[in-house]
Amino acid sequence: MPSSRDVVFVDGVRTPFGRSGPKGLYAETRADDLVIRVIRALMRRNPNLPPERVDEVAIAATTQIGDQGLTIGRAAAVLAGLPKTVPGFAIDRMCAGAMTAVTSVAGGIAFGAYDVAIAGGVEHMGRHPMGEGVDPNPRFLAEKLVDPSALVMGMTAENLHDRYPGISRERADAYAVASQEKVDKAYADGFIQRDLVPTATRSTEKGWGLATADEPPRPGTTLEALAGLKTPFRPHGRVTAGNAAGLTDGATGCLVAAADVADELGLTAKMRLVSYAFAGVDPEVMGIGPIPSTEKALRLAGLAIGDIGLVEINEAFAVQVLAFLDHFGIADDDPRVNPYGGAIAFGHPLASSGVRLMTQLARQFAARPDVRYGLTTMCVGMGMGGTVIWENPSWEGAK
């Protein structure tokens, strides 16, 4: 039997994210073309990697239909110009698709089945709204297996507010404003642009364009402005378009490799995988998913939350992040949490977001040699959570 090998995150990139809909950046751009841009960028940024050494391409999409279907990992690999000897597959774990793509190939690398793999995700929510073409089994409701609200993500967030009465709408709005401010600062400091792939856009009305920055962020957002927004999921509710991630289009991808192979090929390891875990929760409160998945990942790693110096948590809804922070005794404004901001500002193109978290954590590791461990975590539709714990190769204590 092969012995387990260390797995490292070599590089991560993404397209700029666009707002979904007929006026969004990618309204007339194919989903698979977004993935192709990402794969080509990874290969271009890592010229020491011979294309034939890529052993697998795992690409996630939540709505596997149309230009997000056709086993998109394989289709995008061929279209991106990788050798036809390179296989690929598609993954669906809703919001944690790209995260699961990474953990899936990482397991193969640790086992010895792969040396190097590409993992990522895409979601074109403008072309393919969440739930397009699905046919939920009537037993879910007829046998009361889930609450009717479980299938509407915004309603699950309202349920979380019910469960955690200390998380008010005002507190969620304040968190949302802070996220917008952090993204604005991260852009001003040049941290985000380094891993964005300029992406061609097509418009019948405007002609060709080039996306070089995220479209969803709203710098200058104020508490007063958020307080005036409607609550679409419940009368007098607490979840609004301002304290939740918007509908977004975009793709992400990363290179994952065995540590010894990365050394052999001259590829720089930006993070080392320590542990990962997924957990299930009641679907009607899916936002608490990151709590048990993080507890499990910490247990597997032999670590405590106090050992974690950086946290990248997906901001599907502010209430979901705040529930996580409260559980672990972390302040709303703790500088360890989403230093560059999060999905409330960037947007959340479902299956692709996990790798955005990883790419941002890798950037933070490089700038923070005082930090040894970080984690990426997210809630997942249908009642799940996912967490990956990483170690910083630049940690000054290792020298």
Domain ranges of the chain: 7-128+246-390
pLDDT of residue 151: 84
**Catalytically annotated residue among 95, 124, 128, 161:** 95
Model-level pTM? 0.97
Sequence-separated (6 or more) residues with CB below 8 Å from residue 314:
95, 245, 342, 343, 348, 353, 354, 357, 377, 378, 379
Sequence-separated (6 or more) residues with CB below 8 Å from residue 242:
173, 176, 221, 225, 226, 229, 344
Torsion angle (degrees, nearest 10) of CA 359, 361, 362, 365: 170
Residue with tokens 């542990």: 275
**Catalytically annotated residue among 124, 128, 161, 348:** 348
Task: Note the helical H segments in 270-382.
Answer: 290-301, 318-327, 343-346, 353-367
- For 77-94, how does the pLDDT look when each residue is reduced to its tens digit (9 = 90+)? 999 999 999 999 999 999
Residue with tokens 């690409």: 59
Q: Give me the phi and psi of 280, to 5 degrees please.
A: -105, 145
| Residue 398 amino acid letter | A
- Tell me the residue length of the chain: 399
pLDDT of residue 399: 59
Q: Give me the phi and psi of 50, to 5 degrees please.
A: -65, 130
Question: Domain 7-128+246-390's class?
Answer: alpha beta
**Catalytically annotated residue among 124, 128, 254, 379:** 379
Collect the ranges in the chain with pLDDT lower than 50: none
What is the rounded distance in angstroms from the CA atom of residue 58 to the CA atom of residue 255?
Answer: 11
| 379 tagged catalytic | yes
Torsion angle (degrees, nearest 10) of CA 194, 271, 74, 19: -40
- For 56-70, how does the pLDDT look when each residue is reduced to its tens digit (9 = 90+)? 999 999 999 999 999
| 95 tagged catalytic | yes
How many CB atoms are located within 10 Å of the residue 141 CB?
14
| 348 tagged catalytic | yes
